[in-house]
Structure 1
Amino acid sequence: MIQTCRKFLLCCTIVAVSAVAGAQESVRLPDLGGTSTRILSPEEERRFPREFEQYMRASELLVEDPMVRDYFVDMGYRLVSYSDRAEENFHFFVLQEPNINAFAAPAGVIALHSGLLLAAQDEHEVAGVVAHEIAHVTQDHLARGMENAQRTALPTLLASIGLALAAASAGSGGDASQAILLGGMSLAQQFQINYTRQSESEADRIGIQLLARAGYDPHGMTRFFERLNLLSRPMGEGPPEYLRTHPLTVNRIAEARTRAERLDSKPERGDDEFHFVQARLRALSTETTKAELWFRVRLSGSERPTDAMRYGLALTLMRDQRLDAARDEVETLLESSPNRQIFRLLHAELLVNEGRVAEALDELESLMRQYPGSRQVTIEYARTLMHERDTERAAKATQVLRDYLQHHPDDLPRTELYARAADRAGDHVRAAEALAESYYMRGGIWEAIVQLERVIEREDLDYYQRSRIGSRLNQLRAEWLRLSERERLRQRDRDR
């Protein structure tokens, strides 16, 4: 399915980009580190993070698991808080891409590939990459690299990123790669920033300082770069994607190591949580046979925390519906730490898979009382309430999700779950409103408008419902008018 979406993304991109043929080397994922309005207009900078998210979601490249996403968003904001642009907006995303890479884009967008996260040995290495990308943004390296370029329209920028993603996925030499070369290389090359030695050195220096200030090991960045260099040697393969967009030299690594040593900083953070998050990402994104083998090999050794490897193995076995084997692993975890939240959530997930939904709800209600503000507990509780077609449970899920979405209004999966819960509970107006919001979050402003226009025509709406829906309609219509004529036509055609 993902490969199909990549092909679709490639076709859309080729249409969107000016076709210029040329025999140039394969385009690599662009490193667009900056927030200058010389690249996007102020209004487009405001819209870009949301539209980037919609674009990646439509291509099924966005990792939306809340445990995985929240962990790396928290890491990013922690690092940003120690930068000289702590007041600016940054936006962190995890993409389901096996390549070892990360990139920064306008408006403070920073994306991490799942391949990079799975290749890291600890959280300090990932934090080193994130800090480096943050430094590219805070130092306006993109603005400097494109100083003479004309301002670029937002759809064109998104198309360029999509083109480079497709090229990186296809690899050099394949038919798809050749199609990319014939379909618009010039625009993608425009965003292919070959950072100068000065820019890379500056990003290293500032990134290492951010690591130390935020309580991470300042040597994490250097360790990860050194390992990526080693990964490029087997079987004559080219270097990992990240080294192509961030070329390394022996001198650069030595300088980074010296800077880290001068800081004489000891990490304040342990990385136990990182290994659980990484294990979850591997279990959810890797073919089950490969994932099971990976976890069992690590369980037989001592290089990774045993509990995290057992957690990942249990999730993998559940994905494969080998529930008896999964129960053995879960019970072992509970014996070691019976009150640990992550193990109790795993136990509830196992109970649901075994068809013991009532028992799972008992476990989750206990967790809700113990951790009333926990996002993970709330999401799992609402999901379990909706596991069976029960009107009373659906009504309870509606209340839980309504409160949750007040704090997390941009959570698309939970918005869609709320729409289903409200509909099952008989609140069809709220269900229709939530459905409209889900259209909007997927980039369908016109579809959201049409949905709300149908709702507001109902004769049974009370004053408050009509006011609420009318206010949202006005907001959407104003945003609709700000779109280009081409984009409005595209959305209307899609709606038909």
Structure 2
Amino acid sequence: MRNLRAQLISILAGGIALFAISLIKANEIELPEIGDRSGATISPEQERDIGREFMRQLHNSVTIIDDPEIATYLQSLGYQLVANSDNRGQEFTFFIVQDSTINAFAAPGGYVGVHSELIKNTRTESELAAVMAHEIAHVTQHHLARAFEQGSRLSLPMAAAIVAAILLGMGTQNPDAGFAGMMAAQAGAAQLQINFTRSNEEEADRIGMQTLIRAGFDPFAMPAFFERLEQVSRYYGPEPPEFLSTHPVTRNRIADATGRAEALVTTPQLTARNQLQFYLMRSKLQVLTSDDKKQTVEQFSQALKTGRYLNEESARYGYALALTRAGNQNEARQQILQLLKKDTDNLAYLLVLAQIETAAGYFETAFEIYQKTLALYPNNYTVIINYASALLQGHQPHKARDLLKKQAQPGRGTVRIYHLLAKAEEEMGNRAESHRWLAEYYYYIGQIGMAIKQLQLANKAVGSNFYERSKIEARLRQLQTEATGKKNS
């Protein structure tokens, strides 16, 4: 029964992983209108609307890792694959969910999520790229839209009701209660959807492999990763890694992937720099997701002493990060300076050095490093975010605000930028502007009620500035209209 439920979830949500659905309660989901009662296939714009709403709800339900350096790396890797896919014009957003299970998923509108644990279990960049290429294929092949088309006899509202029934069950102590409700609503179409799910996975494997090869990655990484997961699953007993529940791996599937790789001639064009960045970000993820700072320091220390690492530079980089997080700035500084002697302009190393000086309270030294780094990497998003954070810690909110405002406007920014701008304006005493940026922050993470409240507070604090009041009121009306539309849908 568990496998059947997972398969139905996969097809109805277009490959959305079980973890995401299980963590969102039914009463928290407000699906946007996805079509009329005729059951016509949803349009690309409707897919994007569903995806945006999904992401806003997801922000309330799971921890999305917003480290700008890791996020930028994953987005860059993702678009390297998209550029070699069969739908290069499709817009994508790639992100990492902090979760101790091995999984990845694709949501409507080009949203692709990867669990932190999956990345930590990959051994090469090609393995990570293989998983992402598979999920990209789910999006470019419009599996969600095709799923709704298959269920068109029941109409799109009925399909949304089935998803809600699943969510309701997953949010209770008795998941089978929601499953029973789903079956009552959709029993007649269950087998059709199961078969369609299997064909989705086969197609995503095939298209994903083609994308992987065109992008210059090792095609054998896909079956290698599948096989290692299949071996690992033997130690999980009746509950295999979540990836295997939503993406079943069989010996036949591994053989098919190997056969495709052997049949397609390719010369992978991986560079040492690309691989190094993968290993660096993998190490950083290990540090950021660890709950035991001392243990993490010891793990990297032992890896360096014994030579048990995938890449020495990334192991030393991880060691420096772990030491910084544990409060040992002096030793961390020595480790990162050792790396900078060999690679003086490496962005990741310079950022860690600046982070060490900030943590040690040497703000002017940190600012000099950030300025040098910005000169090397103009308008780099990660440098700007880290520099602005350091400026705020060093009590220079004016400089932080000016730096951040070049990167964002309401509705066009990131959650980190909005939050830092709100903090900068607050420290400067600009209450109206602080509330306005907090509104964008709350809207971005799916809390539209809180966003409206912040705009109302901004409106009260703005004073007699007609231009600023007009901007605030216009945005307030926009969000109120959207909130009313959701209640009535």
After TM superposition, the structure 1 = structure 2 runs for residues 298-313 of structure 1, keeping only pairs within 5 Å, are 298-299=303-304, 300-301=306-307, 303-313=309-319
- Change over 3 Å in CA distance of 1:380–1:258 after alignment to 2: same
The answer as to whether partners of 1:80 and 1:86 remain within 8 angstroms in 2 is yes
The answer as to whether partners of 1:34 and 1:108 remain within 8 angstroms in 2 is no
- Change over 3 Å in CA distance of 1:303–1:197 after alignment to 2: same
Q: Distance in 1 between the 2:58 and 2:310 partners?
A: 31
After TM superposition, the structure 1 = structure 2 runs for residues 91-490 of structure 1, keeping only pairs within 5 Å, are 91-145=93-147, 147-148=150-151, 150-152=155-157, 178-182=173-177, 186-187=181-182, 197-234=198-235, 236=237, 238-270=239-271, 271-287=275-291, 288-299=293-304, 300-301=306-307, 303-388=309-394, 390=395, 393-406=396-409, 409-457=412-460, 460-485=463-488
TM-score for both structures, normalised by structure 2: 0.82
Q: Deviations over 1:144-178 (max 9, x none)?
A: 445125315898688678679x78xxxxxxxx8x5
RMSD, aligned α-carbons? 3.3
Aligned to 2:29: none
Q: Distance in 1 between the 2:419 and 2:161 partners?
A: 29
- Change over 3 Å in CA distance of 1:53–1:291 after alignment to 2: farther
Matched, 1:33 2:14: yes
The answer as to whether partners of 2:367 and 2:387 remain within 8 angstroms in 1 is yes
CA positional deviation for 1:61: 1.9
The answer as to whether partners of 2:218 and 2:268 remain within 8 angstroms in 1 is yes
The answer as to whether partners of 1:49 and 1:91 remain within 8 angstroms in 2 is no
- Structure 1's consecutive aligned runs of 4 or more residues displaced over 6 angstroms after TM superposition are 34-37, 39-43, 153-158, 160-164, 188-192
- Change over 3 Å in CA distance of 1:449–1:196 after alignment to 2: closer
CA positional deviation for 1:227: 0.9
Q: Distance in 2 between the 1:130 and 1:337 partners?
A: 29
Q: Distance in 2 between the 1:407 and 1:466 partners?
A: 14
Q: Distance in 2 between the 1:306 and 1:209 partners?
A: 32
Q: Distance in 2 between the 1:483 and 1:144 partners?
A: 25
CA positional deviation for 1:24: 5.4
Quick check: 294-303 or 185-194, which moved more? Answer: 185-194
The answer as to whether partners of 1:298 and 1:304 remain within 8 angstroms in 2 is no
What secondary structure does 1:33 align onto?
A: coil
Q: Distance in 2 between the 1:90 and 1:153 partners?
A: 28
Q: Distance in 2 between the 1:61 and 1:161 partners?
A: 22
Pick the aligned partner of 2:63 from 50, 61, 64. 61
TM-score for both structures, normalised by structure 1: 0.81
Between the two proteins, the alignment pairs up a number of residues equal to 451
CA positional deviation for 1:185: 5.8
What secondary structure does 2:393 align onto?
A: coil
Aligned to 2:52: 50
- Change over 3 Å in CA distance of 1:462–1:90 after alignment to 2: same
Q: Distance in 1 between the 2:426 and 2:119 partners?
A: 38
Q: Distance in 2 between the 1:161 and 1:386 partners?
A: 44
**Percent sequence identity over matched residues?**
35
What secondary structure does 2:102 align onto?
A: coil
- Change over 3 Å in CA distance of 1:292–1:150 after alignment to 2: farther
- Change over 3 Å in CA distance of 1:459–1:323 after alignment to 2: closer
- Change over 3 Å in CA distance of 1:422–1:360 after alignment to 2: same
Q: Distance in 2 between the 1:455 and 1:27 partners?
A: 46
Q: Deviations over 1:439-492 (max 9, x none)?
A: 222323333333323433557333432332233223223323321248xxxxxx
Aligned to 1:19: none
The answer as to whether partners of 2:5 and 2:179 remain within 8 angstroms in 1 is no
Quick check: 33-42 or 236-245, which moved more? Answer: 33-42
The answer as to whether partners of 1:410 and 1:441 remain within 8 angstroms in 2 is no
Q: Distance in 2 between the 1:349 and 1:234 partners?
A: 39
What secondary structure does 1:242 align onto?
A: helix
The answer as to whether partners of 2:432 and 2:457 remain within 8 angstroms in 1 is no
What secondary structure does 1:232 align onto?
A: helix
- Change over 3 Å in CA distance of 1:425–1:162 after alignment to 2: farther
Quick check: 403-412 or 355-364, which moved more? Answer: 403-412
CA positional deviation for 1:399: 0.5
The answer as to whether partners of 2:4 and 2:194 remain within 8 angstroms in 1 is no
